[in-house]
Amino acid sequence: MSETIYRRMSDLPSTHLLGGGTAMCAGCGGLQALHQIYDVLGTKTVFVNAAGCMTLLSVYPFTPFRGSWLYTAMASAPAGAQGVRDALDILCDKGRLPRDEDLQVVTLTGDGAAYGMGLSATSGAIDRNLDFLYICYDNEGYGNTGQQSSPATPHGAHTATATGPAGHSGFKKDLFGIWVANRPAYVATVIGTEPLDLARKIEKAAKLSGPRLILALAPCPTGWDFDPQQAAEIGRLAVRTGIFPLKEYLDGRVVHTKVKRPRTPVEEYLRAQGRFQHLFEPERRQDVLDAIQARVDAYWEHWDPSH
Partner 1 sequence: MYRIRFHGRGGQGMKTASRILGSAFFAEGFEVQDAPSYGAERRGAPIFATVRAAHAPILERGPMPQPGLVIVADETLLPMAAGGGVLSGMGERAVLLLHSAVDANTWKQRLQLACRVLTLPLRLEETGGRGFVGALCAGAAARLVGIVSREALEGAIRQELAAMPAQVLAANLTQAGEAYDAMKKHAGCVCEAPEAPAPGAVDANWIDLPFEAAELSAPDIHGALTSIQVRTGLWRTLRPVIDPERCSRCHWLCGSLCPDAAISPEAEGLPVIDYEHCKGCLVCVAVCPRHAIESIPEAQAREQEASP
Ligand X SMILES: Cc1ncc(C[n+]2csc(CCOP(=O)(O)OP(=O)(O)O)c2C)c(N)n1
Binding site for Mg ion (CB under 5 A): 110-112, 139, 143
Would you count residue 143 as binding ligand SF4 (CB under 6 A)?
yes
* Strand, coil or helix: 50: strand
Q: Which of 74, 198, 220 is nearest to 139 (CA)?
A: 220
Task: Mark residues 243-282: x for contact with partner 1 by CB under 8 A, - for none.
Answer: -----------------------------------x--xx
Would you count residue 64 as binding ligand SF4 (CB under 6 A)?
no
Task: Mark residues 128-157: x for contact with partner 1 by CB under 8 A, - for none.
Answer: ------------------------------
Would you count residue 52 as binding ligand X (CB under 6 A)?
yes
| Position among 78, 118, 211, 221 found at the interface with ligand SF4 (CB under 6 A) | 221
DSSP string, 61-130: T--S-SS-EEEE-TT-HHHHHHHHHHHHHHHHHTTSS-GGG--EEEEEEEHIIIIIITHHHHHHHHHTT-
Would you count residue 144 as binding ligand X (CB under 6 A)?
yes
Min separation Cβ 184 and Mg ion, Å: 22
**Residues 237 and 267 sit within 8 Å (Cβ to Cβ):** no
Distance (Å, whole) CA 140 – CA 155: 11
Min separation Cβ 216 and ligand SF4, Å: 11
Q: Which of 63, 159, 169, 69 is nearest to 112 (CA)?
A: 159
Min separation Cβ 154 and Mg ion, Å: 12
